[in-house]
Structure 1
Amino acid sequence: MRVTQSMISNNSLRHIQNSYQKLGKLEEQLITGKKVNRPSDDPVVAMKGMRYRSQVVEVEQFQRNLGEVYNWMDNTEAALDEVNTVMQRIRELTVKASTDSYDASQRNNIASEIKQLRTHLESIANTKVNNKYIFNGTDTSGKPVDLSKIDQSIDITTIDKNNAKDYILFSESGQQLLWDESAEAFKGKDGSSVGIPVTGDFVAKELGAVSVNTESVNIEVSKGINLEVNTKPQGVFSLDLFTDLGKLISALESPDTSGADLTNQIDVIDGHMNKVITETAEIGAKYNRVEMVENRLLSQEIIAKSTMSQNEDIDAEKVIIELTSQEALHRAALAVGARIIQPSLVDFLR
């Protein structure tokens, strides 16, 4: 086969161009730190990289969700600790007042302080975080407790079908019944029903006096794992709590109240304090689980980023060696090409 000067020149130029491309690719890898900078470089690595990156993004989102979980639980725990402090103070004052040596004026002073503490419990119940009420289940835009409505006396005989939807009934056991328009009766979650007119030992309160929302606020902290972050208001800030404190205040203000009567109130306060302690313990148990989930997410993040790095990131030392070697080869190719392409017919006619 006849080899012409143009064939040699074209081949030399093609090899030099390929060398430039290799140098450019190595330089790009060294600058970006990535093996693949576009899908065409390596479709398989690019496809795996997308999956690994999605996994990293997912783990990072779950970690942000954990921040929201901690925010809810830290504020809930702080609020319950404050409730416990308030209840201890109320108990201490009640124990003092139960002594018959206390006169009416002293008991009235104690009643005034307990009134303020009762109002403070309302403000704790209405704690807001990020403009959300944390003690009202999924109804984070509504106040869980309104003392003005709790203290409002409602005659159940005045409730009819026209205004029933504005009220909630409470049984002696604390069960809540809401108006069911389709059944035209007050119905509880257990299926119990009370029609109009209302009969029996029920307490009627205007809707909104205390929370009736029992739904859980769940936040996803891992694939398919949701944690309940809220404390249901019925466990701590119930109608019974504010009603019993109201009765205690009335007893302290009454001159006919004896020390024995107030001693009985201490048992009622202890019952409410036990509920607060139970809810606090529940928060502590949830907190332990959240910390375990956080440790697991940290491990998943390290593994996911390590896998993504192995798939995408270059070995800098290896690339530098390849770049140096390719540069030497490129210079040699240029030198050889210059010697081959340079001679022409004119050079031989000198």
Structure 2
Amino acid sequence: MIGGGRVTEGSIHNRVLANLQRNLAKGAKIQDQMSSGKQINRPSDSPSGTVAALQLRAETRTSEQYSRNADDGLGWLGTVEDTLTSASSLVNRARDLTVQGLNSSTNGPQANEALALEIDQIRDTLITYANSRYLDRPVFGGNTTDPEAYDRTTGKFTGNPYDPANPTRTSVSRTVGNGVKVRVDLTGPEAFGDDTTGLFKVLSNISSDIRAGNTTQLGTDLQSLDNSGNKLKSAISEIGSRYNRITQMKESAQDRLASVSSQLSDIEDIDLPKTIMDMQLQQTSYQAALAAGAKVIQPSLIDFLR
């Protein structure tokens, strides 16, 4: 014959207290989740979930950095594009004045001087454009640390020229994706030409030839000016393509950020309605455990144990 297990008063008390403690611990855990809004408040809550959350947080930071880099790159390229567009308009005006200068034999000295003066003003304005800055850095100076890319008096390039054989050291780039770098600057010679045959030299020649009434040379100057204008248009097209690429990469980074944030929320964030229901059930369970413990452990017995 098998006898029943012996249950002592002490074992009953211990079990009741242990059950109450478990109920309190569960209630405290749910309360922590409701207070923080997170399912995972410490690694022990979910070791695998903690690892996944850390990985997703790293991806989140990376995507956010790509997006910030893209914003900075768009700022650079936007400044370059706006400047080149304004410069192209001035070149068109200079062309009109040059065509008028071809009639210098009939214009008269005063008219030619007025044309030459406006050409000089256009040249000075273009040099100012060539010294445009973004975040206090000259956008046409390459990776120079100088405040300006061109000498305001002579119009000579003083920045660092771009070297296609060594683009990393001679250009300004932004990392906008995994292994994706996009160049965001454009050096002065790439946009305005060099110091001997570039736009500023051409405008100086036009001004001098108009004053001298040298219509033969003005014809050559006009062709050189058209070449400079075409160079500006090509530069605008190139900058536009880079701008579009960075915009696409930024959108990709933002899409990835939204996806990772959603995955992280699934792992970390609580389901509020479910958590509230769990909390109410836990409170009901604890109250029932208290009531059951009060019936099992009579006051007189507790007094006796004390």
The TM-score with structure 2 as length reference comes to 0.89
Give the counterpart of 1:41 among 40, 45, 60: 45
What is the root-mean-square deviation of aligned Cα atoms in Å? 1.9
Contact 2:60 2:261 in 1 (8 A): yes
Task: Verify: 1:27 aligned to 2:31, yes or no.
Answer: yes
After TM superposition, give the deviation of residue 280 of structure 1 in Å: 0.3
Aligned counterparts of 1:336 and 1:108: Cα–Cα separation in 2: 109
Give the match's secondary structure for 2:106: coil
Read off the aligned partner of 1:230 and give its amino acid letter.
D
Q: Which residue of 2 aligns with 1:213?
A: 161
Question: What does 1:192-341 align with in structure 2 at a 5 Å threshold?
Answer: 209-214=157-162, 215-237=170-192, 238-239=194-195, 240=197, 241-254=199-212, 257-341=213-297
Task: Verify: 1:111 aligned to 2:116, yes or no.
Answer: yes
Q: Which residue of 2 aligns with 1:173?
A: none
Q: Which residue of 2 aligns with 1:200?
A: none
CA deviations on 1:213-266 (whole Å, 9 max, x unpaired) are 212211000111111111122122331222221111111222xx3433323221
Give the match's secondary structure for 1:344: helix
Give the match's secondary structure for 1:221: strand
Aligned counterparts of 1:124 and 1:266: Cα–Cα separation in 2: 22
Contact 1:65 1:221 in 2 (8 A): yes
Question: What does 1:40-79 align with in structure 2 at a 5 Å threshold?
Answer: 40-79=44-83
More strand by share: 1
Aligned counterparts of 1:316 and 1:27: Cα–Cα separation in 2: 12
Where structure 1 has 5 or more consecutive residues not aligned to the other structure, the ranges are: 151-207
Question: What does 1:80-159 align with in structure 2 at a 5 Å threshold?
Answer: 80-99=84-103, 100-150=105-155
After TM superposition, give the deviation of residue 17 of structure 1 in Å: 0.9
Percent identity between the two aligned chains? 29
After TM superposition, give the deviation of residue 58 of structure 1 in Å: 1.1
**1:325–1:260 CA distance, 2 compared to 1 (3 A):** same
How many residue pairs end up in the alignment?
289
Q: Runs (4+) of structure 1 moved beyond 4 Å? A: 345-348
Where structure 2 has 5 or more consecutive residues not aligned to the other structure, the ranges are: 163-169
**1:347–1:45 CA distance, 2 compared to 1 (3 A):** closer
Contact 2:209 2:215 in 1 (8 A): no
Contact 2:157 2:188 in 1 (8 A): no
Q: Which residue of 2 aligns with 1:194?
A: none
Contact 2:94 2:122 in 1 (8 A): yes
Aligned counterparts of 2:204 and 2:219: Cα–Cα separation in 1: 16
Contact 1:35 1:312 in 2 (8 A): yes
Aligned counterparts of 1:303 and 1:5: Cα–Cα separation in 2: 57
Give the match's secondary structure for 2:153: helix
Contact 2:37 2:270 in 1 (8 A): yes
Q: Which range moves more in the overlay, 259-268 or 29-38?
A: 259-268
CA deviations on 1:307-330 (whole Å, 9 max, x unpaired) are 111111111222122212111111
Aligned counterparts of 1:326 and 1:96: Cα–Cα separation in 2: 91
After TM superposition, give the deviation of residue 347 of structure 1 in Å: 9.8
Q: Which residue of 2 aligns with 1:183?
A: none
Read off the aligned partner of 1:292 and give its amino acid letter.
Q
Give the match's secondary structure for 2:181: strand
Aligned counterparts of 2:246 and 2:303: Cα–Cα separation in 1: 84
**1:218–1:115 CA distance, 2 compared to 1 (3 A):** same
Aligned counterparts of 1:43 and 1:131: Cα–Cα separation in 2: 48
Q: Which range moves more in the overlay, 124-133 or 41-50?
A: 41-50
Read off the aligned partner of 2:294 and give its amino acid letter.
A
Aligned counterparts of 1:39 and 1:282: Cα–Cα separation in 2: 50
CA deviations on 1:68-90 (whole Å, 9 max, x unpaired) are 01100111000001110111111
Aligned counterparts of 2:289 and 2:210: Cα–Cα separation in 1: 104
Read off the aligned partner of 2:210 and give its amino acid letter.
L
